[in-house]
Copies of this chain bind each other. A is one copy, B any other.
Amino acid sequence: MTRASKSDSKPRQIKLGAFLPGGGQHIAAWRHPDAPADGATNFEFHKQLALTAERGLFDAYFLADNLTVGLGAREGGNAKIAGFEPVTLFAALAPLTTHLGFIATASTTYEEPYTLARKFASLDLLSNGRAGWNVVTSAGDETARNFNRDVQPNHAERYARAHEHVETVKALWDSWEDDAFIRDKQSGRFYDKDKLHDIDHKGEHFSVKGPLNVPRPVQGHPVVVQAGQSEDGRGLAAHSAEVIFTAHQKLETAQEFYRDIKARVAEAGRDPDQVLIMPGVAPFVGRTEEEARAKYQQLNDLILPEDGVALLNGLAGQTLDIRGYPLDGPLPPSKETEGMKSRQALIRQIADEHNFTIRQLYQWVATARGHYTIVGSVTQVADQLEEWFTSEAADGFNILPPWLPGALDDFVDLVIPELQRRGLFRTAYEGRTLRENLGLRRPENPWTVARSTVLAAE
User: Closest chain B residue to A184 by CB distance?
Assistant: B37
Residue of B nearest to A96 (CB): B95
A84-B122, A147-B112, A190-B81 known; A47 vs B95 contact (CB < 8 Å) = yes
Q: Given that A92-B126, A183-B38 are contacting pairs, would A111 and B115 also be in contact in the complex, using a CB cutoff of 8 Å?
A: yes
- Interface positions of A from 177 to 223, Cβ below 8 Å from B: 181, 183-185, 188-191, 193, 196, 206-215
Taking CB atoms, residues of chain B closer than 8 Å to A188 are 28, 31, 302, 304, 307
Whether the pair A115, B122 counts as a contact (CB closer than 8 A) is: no
CB-based contact A207/B307 at 8 Å? no
Minimal Cβ-Cβ distance residue in B for A146? B114
Given contacts A125-B43, A206-B148, contact A185 B115 (CB under 8 A): no
Q: Mark A53-79, 1 if CB is under 8 A from B, else 0.
A: 000000000000011111001111111
With CB as the reference atom, state the residue of chain B lying closest to A213. B69
- Contact indicator A41/B145 (Cβ below 8 Å): no
Residue of B nearest to A41 (CB): B215
- Count of chain A residues near B, Cβ 8 A: 77
* Contact of B148 with A82 in the complex, beta carbons under 8 Å: no
Taking the nearest CB of chain B, how far is it from the CB of A237, in angstroms?
25
* A122 and B208 in contact, given A66-B213, A115-B111 (Cβ under 8 angstroms): no
Distance A243 CA – B405 CA, assembled complex (angstroms): 41
**A159 lies within 8 A of chain B by Cβ:** no
In this assembly, does A369 line the interface, its C-beta being within 8 Å of a C-beta of chain B? no
CB of A93, distance to nearest CB on chain B (Å)? 8
A43 cross-chain contacts in B, Cβ below 8 A: 95, 125-126, 128
Nearest Cβ in chain B — how far from A106, in angstroms? 10
Closest to A194 in B: B76
Other-chain contact of A209, B84, B145, B209, B211 (Cβ < 8 Å): B145
Which residue of B has the minimal Cβ distance to A208? B146
Do the beta carbons of A85 and B122 come within 8 Å of each other?
yes
Check A434 for interface membership: any CB of B closer than 8 A.
no
CB distance from A21 to the nearest CB of B (A): 12
Interface residue? A119 (CB, 8 A): yes
Residue in B closest to A307 when the chains form the complex, CB atoms: B188
A74 CB to nearest chain B CB (Å): 8
Let me know if A88 is at the binding interface, CB within 8 A.
yes
User: In the complex, what residues of B have CB within 8 A of residue A439's CB?
Assistant: none
Which positions 144-172 of chain A face chain B at CB distance < 8 Å?
145-149
Are A88 and B208 within 8 A (Cβ)? no
Q: With an 8 A cutoff between CB atoms, is A99 at the interface?
A: no
A residues 362-420 in Cβ contact with B at 8 Å: none
- For residue A185, which residue of chain B has the nearest CB? B31
Cα separation A30 to B28 with both chains bound (whole Å):
53
Report if A315 contacts B (CB, 8 A): no
Instruction: Note all chain B residues with C-beta closer than 8 A to A82.
Output: 176, 212-215
> A91 near B: Cβ within 8 Å?
yes
Q: Which residues of B contact A68 (CB under 8 A)?
A: 213
A15 contacts the other chain (CB 8 A) = no
- Looking at A38, A94, A185, which has the most chain B CB atoms within 10 Å of its CB? A185
A85 interface neighbour in B79, B118, B142, B210, Cβ under 8 Å: B118
Contact between A89 and B91 (Cβ–Cβ < 8 Å)? yes
- Residues 120-140 (chain A) with a chain B CB within 8 angstroms: 121-123, 125-126, 128
Tell me the nearest residue of chain B to A210, going by C-beta: B146
Q: A146 contacts which chain B residues (CB < 8 A)? A: 114, 208-210
6 closest A-B pairs by beta carbon, nearest first, are: A91-B91, A37-B183, A145-B209, A85-B122, A88-B122, A114-B146
14 cross-chain CB contacts under 8 A = A30-B190, A37-B183, A37-B184, A41-B125, A41-B181, A47-B95, A69-B212, A82-B213, A84-B125, A84-B126, A85-B121, A85-B214, A95-B95, A146-B209
Given A30-B183, A41-B215: 17 more A-B contacts, CB < 8 Å: A37-B184, A37-B185, A41-B181, A43-B95, A43-B126, A70-B213, A75-B193, A81-B213, A85-B118, A85-B119, A89-B122, A89-B126, A92-B94, A95-B95, A147-B208, A148-B206, A148-B207
